[in-house]
Homo-oligomer: A and B are copies of this chain.
Protein backbone atom coordinates (compact mmCIF):
# COMPACT_ATOMS: atom_id res chain seq x y z
CA UNK A 1 0.00 0.00 0.00
CA UNK A 2 1.40 3.43 -0.82
CA UNK A 3 2.16 5.56 2.22
CA UNK A 4 3.11 9.11 3.04
CA UNK A 5 5.59 9.31 5.85
CA UNK A 6 6.60 12.47 7.60
CA UNK A 7 10.28 13.09 8.14
CA UNK A 8 10.20 14.34 11.72
CA UNK A 9 13.61 15.93 11.48
CA UNK A 10 13.25 17.92 8.29
CA UNK A 11 9.49 18.28 8.39
CA UNK A 12 8.88 17.07 4.82
CA UNK A 13 6.82 14.15 3.63
CA UNK A 14 8.04 11.16 1.65
CA UNK A 15 5.81 9.20 -0.73
CA UNK A 16 6.58 5.49 -0.50
CA UNK A 17 5.50 2.31 -2.23
CA UNK A 18 5.71 -0.15 0.67
CA UNK A 19 4.81 -3.36 -1.12
CA UNK A 20 7.30 -3.36 -3.97
CA UNK A 21 10.91 -2.29 -4.33
CA UNK A 22 12.97 -1.38 -7.34
CA UNK A 23 15.90 -3.77 -7.41
CA UNK A 24 19.36 -2.32 -7.97
CA UNK A 25 19.22 -3.09 -11.71
CA UNK A 26 15.85 -1.38 -12.23
CA UNK A 27 17.11 2.17 -11.76
CA UNK A 28 17.14 4.27 -14.92
CA UNK A 29 20.56 5.71 -14.28
CA UNK A 30 22.43 2.46 -13.84
CA UNK A 31 25.93 3.17 -15.16
CA UNK A 32 25.36 1.09 -18.25
CA UNK A 33 22.57 3.38 -19.40
CA UNK A 34 24.59 6.41 -18.54
CA UNK A 35 27.25 5.47 -21.04
CA UNK A 36 25.27 3.82 -23.78
CA UNK A 37 22.36 6.24 -23.70
CA UNK A 38 18.84 5.36 -22.79
CA UNK A 39 17.16 4.48 -26.11
CA UNK A 40 14.19 2.24 -25.65
CA UNK A 41 13.15 0.08 -28.54
CA UNK A 42 9.45 0.09 -27.68
CA UNK A 43 7.73 3.24 -26.44
CA UNK A 44 4.30 2.90 -24.75
CA UNK A 45 3.64 6.65 -25.18
CA UNK A 46 3.88 6.68 -29.01
CA UNK A 47 0.77 7.02 -31.19
CA UNK A 48 -0.56 3.55 -32.01
CA UNK A 49 0.57 2.08 -28.66
CA UNK A 50 -2.43 3.36 -26.65
CA UNK A 51 -3.33 -0.13 -25.43
CA UNK A 52 0.00 -0.29 -23.55
CA UNK A 53 -1.00 2.48 -21.13
CA UNK A 54 -3.82 2.64 -18.58
CA UNK A 55 -7.08 3.89 -20.20
CA UNK A 56 -7.01 7.63 -20.89
CA UNK A 57 -8.87 10.07 -18.63
CA UNK A 58 -8.62 13.01 -21.03
CA UNK A 59 -7.26 13.89 -24.50
CA UNK A 60 -7.39 16.46 -27.28
CA UNK A 61 -8.53 14.29 -30.19
CA UNK A 62 -9.53 14.53 -33.85
CA UNK A 63 -13.32 14.81 -34.11
CA UNK A 64 -13.91 11.28 -35.26
CA UNK A 65 -11.38 9.42 -33.13
CA UNK A 66 -12.32 7.19 -30.19
CA UNK A 67 -10.60 7.03 -26.81
CA UNK A 68 -7.48 4.86 -26.51
CA UNK A 69 -6.63 4.69 -30.22
CA UNK A 70 -4.62 6.95 -32.56
CA UNK A 71 -5.74 10.46 -33.51
CA UNK A 72 -4.78 12.59 -30.48
CA UNK A 73 -2.65 15.68 -29.90
CA UNK A 74 -2.28 15.42 -26.10
CA UNK A 75 -3.26 12.37 -24.05
CA UNK A 76 -3.69 11.89 -20.28
CA UNK A 77 -3.86 8.68 -18.22
CA UNK A 78 -3.09 7.57 -14.66
CA UNK A 79 0.59 6.96 -13.90
CA UNK A 80 1.07 3.19 -13.89
CA UNK A 81 3.96 3.41 -11.42
CA UNK A 82 2.47 5.88 -9.00
CA UNK A 83 3.09 6.04 -5.26
CA UNK A 84 -0.50 7.33 -4.98
CA UNK A 85 -3.85 5.58 -5.06
CA UNK A 86 -7.32 7.12 -5.26
CA UNK A 87 -9.05 4.12 -3.68
CA UNK A 88 -7.66 4.62 -0.18
CA UNK A 89 -8.75 6.47 2.95
CA UNK A 90 -6.21 8.93 4.31
CA UNK A 91 -6.21 7.45 7.84
CA UNK A 92 -3.51 9.65 9.43
CA UNK A 93 -1.98 7.92 12.46
CA UNK A 94 1.36 7.14 14.07
CA UNK A 95 3.51 4.03 14.10
CA UNK A 96 5.13 4.47 17.49
CA UNK A 97 6.54 7.99 17.21
CA UNK A 98 6.39 8.13 13.39
CA UNK A 99 3.56 10.08 11.68
CA UNK A 100 2.16 8.28 8.61
CA UNK A 101 -0.92 8.35 6.39
CA UNK A 102 -2.05 6.34 3.39
CA UNK A 103 -0.88 7.51 -0.04
CA UNK A 104 -4.21 8.94 -1.16
CA UNK A 105 -3.72 10.99 -4.27
CA UNK A 106 -3.96 11.35 -8.02
CA UNK A 107 -0.96 10.90 -10.29
CA UNK A 108 -1.41 11.48 -14.02
CA UNK A 109 0.84 11.32 -17.08
CA UNK A 110 0.23 13.97 -19.76
CA UNK A 111 1.79 12.79 -23.04
CA UNK A 112 2.60 16.07 -24.77
CA UNK A 113 2.84 14.90 -28.37
CA UNK A 114 2.14 11.73 -30.38
CA UNK A 115 5.68 11.83 -31.86
CA UNK A 116 8.48 10.16 -29.94
CA UNK A 117 11.38 12.55 -30.44
CA UNK A 118 10.00 16.07 -30.05
CA UNK A 119 10.34 18.24 -26.93
CA UNK A 120 9.38 21.73 -25.75
CA UNK A 121 12.34 23.12 -27.67
CA UNK A 122 10.73 21.78 -30.89
CA UNK A 123 7.06 22.62 -30.27
CA UNK A 124 5.21 25.32 -32.19
CA UNK A 125 3.46 28.11 -30.27
CA UNK A 126 0.16 26.38 -31.04
CA UNK A 127 1.38 23.06 -29.61
CA UNK A 128 2.50 24.77 -26.41
CA UNK A 129 -0.83 26.60 -26.19
CA UNK A 130 -2.70 23.29 -26.55
CA UNK A 131 -0.58 21.70 -23.84
CA UNK A 132 -1.12 24.62 -21.45
CA UNK A 133 -4.86 24.27 -22.04
CA UNK A 134 -4.64 20.61 -21.04
CA UNK A 135 -2.70 21.60 -17.88
CA UNK A 136 -5.56 23.97 -17.02
CA UNK A 137 -8.19 21.33 -17.72
CA UNK A 138 -6.50 18.62 -15.64
CA UNK A 139 -5.79 21.05 -12.80
CA UNK A 140 -9.49 21.98 -12.68
CA UNK A 141 -10.60 18.34 -12.91
CA UNK A 142 -8.27 17.06 -10.18
CA UNK A 143 -9.18 19.97 -7.87
CA UNK A 144 -12.75 18.60 -7.83
CA UNK A 145 -11.59 15.67 -5.69
CA UNK A 146 -12.03 17.13 -2.21
CA UNK A 147 -9.31 14.94 -0.76
CA UNK A 148 -6.74 16.74 -2.93
CA UNK A 149 -5.13 19.71 -1.13
CA UNK A 150 -2.28 20.69 -3.46
CA UNK A 151 -1.66 20.05 -7.16
CA UNK A 152 1.84 19.88 -8.64
CA UNK A 153 2.36 19.91 -12.42
CA UNK A 154 5.91 19.15 -13.52
CA UNK A 155 7.97 17.98 -16.43
CA UNK A 156 11.30 16.13 -16.39
CA UNK A 157 13.34 16.40 -19.60
CA UNK A 158 16.54 14.35 -19.79
CA UNK A 159 18.42 12.02 -17.48
CA UNK A 160 19.65 14.72 -15.07
CA UNK A 161 16.13 16.09 -14.61
CA UNK A 162 14.70 12.71 -13.63
CA UNK A 163 13.11 11.58 -16.91
CA UNK A 164 12.76 7.80 -17.07
CA UNK A 165 11.15 7.62 -20.54
CA UNK A 166 12.40 9.53 -23.57
CA UNK A 167 8.98 10.35 -25.07
CA UNK A 168 8.06 13.85 -23.87
CA UNK A 169 5.46 13.91 -21.12
CA UNK A 170 4.48 15.98 -18.12
CA UNK A 171 3.05 14.75 -14.84
CA UNK A 172 0.44 15.97 -12.39
CA UNK A 173 0.19 14.92 -8.75
CA UNK A 174 -2.75 15.79 -6.52
CA UNK A 175 -1.41 15.57 -2.95
CA UNK A 176 -3.66 15.01 0.10
CA UNK A 177 -1.70 17.65 2.07
CA UNK A 178 -0.11 21.03 1.40
CA UNK A 179 3.70 20.72 1.30
CA UNK A 180 5.37 23.14 3.70
CA UNK A 181 7.76 24.24 0.97
CA UNK A 182 6.00 27.50 0.26
CA UNK A 183 5.38 28.78 3.79
CA UNK A 184 7.20 31.97 2.88
CA UNK A 185 4.08 33.17 1.06
CA UNK A 186 1.79 32.97 4.10
CA UNK A 187 4.44 34.22 6.53
CA UNK A 188 5.01 37.31 4.38
CA UNK A 189 1.28 37.89 3.98
CA UNK A 190 0.74 37.69 7.73
CA UNK A 191 3.55 40.16 8.39
CA UNK A 192 2.99 42.68 5.59
CA UNK A 193 -0.60 42.19 4.53
CA UNK A 194 0.23 41.78 0.84
CA UNK A 195 1.58 39.27 -1.63
CA UNK A 196 5.26 38.34 -1.58
CA UNK A 197 5.44 37.67 -5.31
CA UNK A 198 3.64 40.94 -6.21
CA UNK A 199 6.17 42.87 -4.10
CA UNK A 200 9.06 40.85 -5.53
CA UNK A 201 7.90 41.50 -9.08
CA UNK A 202 7.59 45.24 -8.48
CA UNK A 203 11.12 45.39 -7.08
CA UNK A 204 12.60 43.31 -9.91
CA UNK A 205 10.89 45.39 -12.61
CA UNK A 206 12.27 48.58 -11.07
CA UNK A 207 15.75 47.12 -10.68
CA UNK A 208 15.79 45.36 -14.11
CA UNK A 209 19.09 43.47 -13.70
CA UNK A 210 17.51 40.04 -13.20
CA UNK A 211 14.79 40.48 -15.84
CA UNK A 212 15.18 38.26 -18.93
CA UNK A 213 12.00 39.37 -20.74
CA UNK A 214 8.95 41.47 -19.95
CA UNK A 215 5.66 40.94 -21.82
CA UNK A 216 2.22 42.45 -21.35
CA UNK A 217 1.04 39.88 -18.79
CA UNK A 218 4.21 38.01 -17.78
CA UNK A 219 7.76 38.66 -16.61
CA UNK A 220 10.55 36.11 -17.13
CA UNK A 221 13.25 36.60 -14.50
CA UNK A 222 16.17 34.93 -12.72
CA UNK A 223 15.14 34.87 -9.04
CA UNK A 224 17.30 36.68 -6.47
CA UNK A 225 18.03 33.53 -4.46
CA UNK A 226 18.28 31.14 -7.46
CA UNK A 227 18.95 27.62 -6.18
CA UNK A 228 20.05 26.43 -9.62
CA UNK A 229 22.36 27.93 -12.24
CA UNK A 230 20.31 29.67 -14.97
CA UNK A 231 17.05 29.11 -13.06
CA UNK A 232 14.18 31.26 -14.39
CA UNK A 233 10.62 31.99 -13.24
CA UNK A 234 7.76 32.98 -15.51
CA UNK A 235 5.67 35.20 -13.23
CA UNK A 236 2.17 36.49 -14.16
CA UNK A 237 1.71 40.19 -13.38
CA UNK A 238 -1.86 39.68 -12.16
CA UNK A 239 -2.17 38.27 -8.65
CA UNK A 240 -4.02 34.96 -8.95
CA UNK A 241 -3.79 31.88 -6.70
CA UNK A 242 -4.56 29.47 -9.51
CA UNK A 243 -3.97 29.33 -13.24
CA UNK A 244 -6.79 27.12 -14.47
CA UNK A 245 -9.08 30.10 -15.14
CA UNK A 246 -6.41 32.25 -16.77
CA UNK A 247 -7.96 34.27 -19.64
CA UNK A 248 -7.17 32.91 -23.10
CA UNK A 249 -5.18 36.04 -23.95
CA UNK A 250 -2.78 35.33 -21.08
CA UNK A 251 -2.40 31.64 -21.95
CA UNK A 252 -1.58 32.76 -25.52
CA UNK A 253 1.14 35.10 -24.26
CA UNK A 254 2.49 32.40 -21.97
CA UNK A 255 2.78 30.05 -24.98
CA UNK A 256 4.45 32.84 -26.97
CA UNK A 257 7.10 33.49 -24.32
CA UNK A 258 7.81 29.79 -23.77
CA UNK A 259 8.11 29.23 -27.53
CA UNK A 260 10.66 32.02 -27.62
CA UNK A 261 12.56 31.19 -24.43
CA UNK A 262 12.79 27.36 -24.14
CA UNK A 263 14.61 26.73 -27.49
CA UNK A 264 16.90 29.73 -26.77
CA UNK A 265 17.85 28.40 -23.32
CA UNK A 266 18.21 24.87 -24.74
CA UNK A 267 20.72 25.98 -27.38
CA UNK A 268 22.60 28.38 -25.13
CA UNK A 269 23.16 25.76 -22.42
CA UNK A 270 24.13 22.96 -24.84
CA UNK A 271 20.93 20.87 -24.71
CA UNK A 272 20.71 20.36 -20.96
CA UNK A 273 18.26 18.27 -18.97
CA UNK A 274 15.59 20.58 -17.53
CA UNK A 275 12.46 20.74 -15.40
CA UNK A 276 9.33 22.83 -15.95
CA UNK A 277 7.09 23.21 -12.91
CA UNK A 278 3.96 25.14 -12.03
CA UNK A 279 3.46 26.25 -8.46
CA UNK A 280 -0.06 27.36 -7.54
CA UNK A 281 -2.04 27.82 -4.34
CA UNK A 282 -3.64 25.03 -2.36
CA UNK A 283 -7.10 23.72 -3.20
CA UNK A 284 -9.97 22.41 -0.99
CA UNK A 285 -10.54 24.90 0.43
CA UNK A 286 -9.05 27.23 -2.19
CA UNK A 287 -9.67 30.28 0.07
CA UNK A 288 -6.72 29.23 2.19
CA UNK A 289 -4.52 30.18 -0.75
CA UNK A 290 -5.13 33.98 -0.48
CA UNK A 291 -1.44 34.71 0.03
CA UNK A 292 -0.31 32.56 -2.91
CA UNK A 293 0.53 33.72 -6.44
CA UNK A 294 0.95 31.04 -9.09
CA UNK A 295 4.10 30.96 -11.26
CA UNK A 296 6.15 28.65 -13.46
CA UNK A 297 9.75 27.57 -12.88
CA UNK A 298 12.11 26.62 -15.74
CA UNK A 299 15.21 24.95 -14.32
CA UNK A 300 18.09 23.57 -16.40
CA UNK A 301 19.87 20.80 -14.49
CA UNK A 302 23.53 21.55 -15.08
CA UNK A 303 24.73 20.20 -11.75
CA UNK A 304 23.39 17.49 -9.49
CA UNK A 305 22.44 18.19 -5.91
CA UNK A 306 25.57 17.19 -4.02
CA UNK A 307 26.12 16.07 -0.43
CA UNK A 308 26.02 19.58 0.97
CA UNK A 309 22.59 20.33 -0.53
CA UNK A 310 21.19 16.95 0.46
CA UNK A 311 22.57 17.21 4.00
CA UNK A 312 22.19 20.85 4.98
CA UNK A 313 19.46 21.99 2.60
CA UNK A 314 21.70 24.95 1.65
CA UNK A 315 22.14 25.21 -2.12
CA UNK A 316 25.46 26.05 -3.78
CA UNK A 317 24.96 28.04 -6.96
CA UNK A 318 28.00 29.04 -9.01
CA UNK A 319 26.07 31.45 -11.27
CA UNK A 320 24.68 34.68 -9.81
CA UNK A 321 21.19 35.39 -11.23
CA UNK A 322 22.35 38.81 -12.46
CA UNK A 323 25.01 37.09 -14.62
CA UNK A 324 22.50 34.43 -15.72
CA UNK A 325 19.90 37.04 -16.74
CA UNK A 326 22.47 39.00 -18.70
CA UNK A 327 23.59 35.88 -20.60
CA UNK A 328 20.00 34.65 -21.18
CA UNK A 329 18.81 38.06 -22.46
CA UNK A 330 21.40 38.08 -25.25
CA UNK A 331 19.96 37.01 -28.57
CA UNK A 332 16.47 36.34 -27.12
CA UNK A 333 13.76 37.30 -29.57
A→B interface (CB under 8 Å): 5-22, 24-25, 27-31, 34-35, 37, 81, 83, 95-98, 150, 152, 154-156, 159-163, 171, 173, 175, 179-185, 188, 196, 199-200, 203, 207, 223-227, 229, 268-272, 275-277, 279, 297, 299, 301-320, 322-324, 327
Contacts and interface: CB of A to CB of B under 8 A. Distances in A.
A307 B34 CA distance: 20
A225 B327 CA distance: 40
A16 B224 CA distance: 10
Given A196-B9, A308-B152, A317-B15, A27 B179 contact: no
A319 B21 contact: yes
A181 B313 contact: yes
A271 B179 contact: no
Contact of A16 (B12, B30, B317): B317
B7 A97 contact: no
24 contacts: A7-B227, A8-B225, A9-B196, A10-B181, A11-B184, A12-B315, A14-B316, A15-B317, A24-B268, A24-B269, A29-B302, A35-B35, A96-B203, A97-B196, A152-B308, A155-B307, A161-B307, A162-B307, A162-B309, A175-B312, A180-B313, A181-B311, A297-B310, A305-B305
A184 B99 CA distance: 13
A275 B161 contact: no
A179 B182 CA distance: 17
Nearest to A292: B9
The secondary-structure label for the interface of chain A is mixed
A148 to B, nearest CB: 13
A304 B159 contact: yes
A161 B12 contact: no
Nearest to A173: B308
B314 A179 contact: yes
A143 to B, nearest CB: 16
A200 B97 contact: yes
Nearest to A178: B312
Contacts of A13: 225, 314-315
Contact of A318 (B12, B22, B161, B269): B22
Given A275-B306, A314-B179, A14 B227 contact: yes
A195 to B, nearest CB: 11
B299 A310 contact: yes
A10 to B, nearest CB: 6
A8 to B, nearest CB: 5
Given A24-B269, A27-B229, A152-B308, 7 more contacts: A7-B225, A13-B314, A16-B320, A31-B271, A97-B200, A160-B304, A277-B307
A200 B51 CA distance: 46
A315 B179 CA distance: 11
Contacts of A30: 270
Contacts of A279: 311
The 4 A-B pairs with the shortest beta carbon distances in the complex, nearest first, are: A162-B306, A154-B307, A181-B313, A21-B323
A250 B297 CA distance: 46
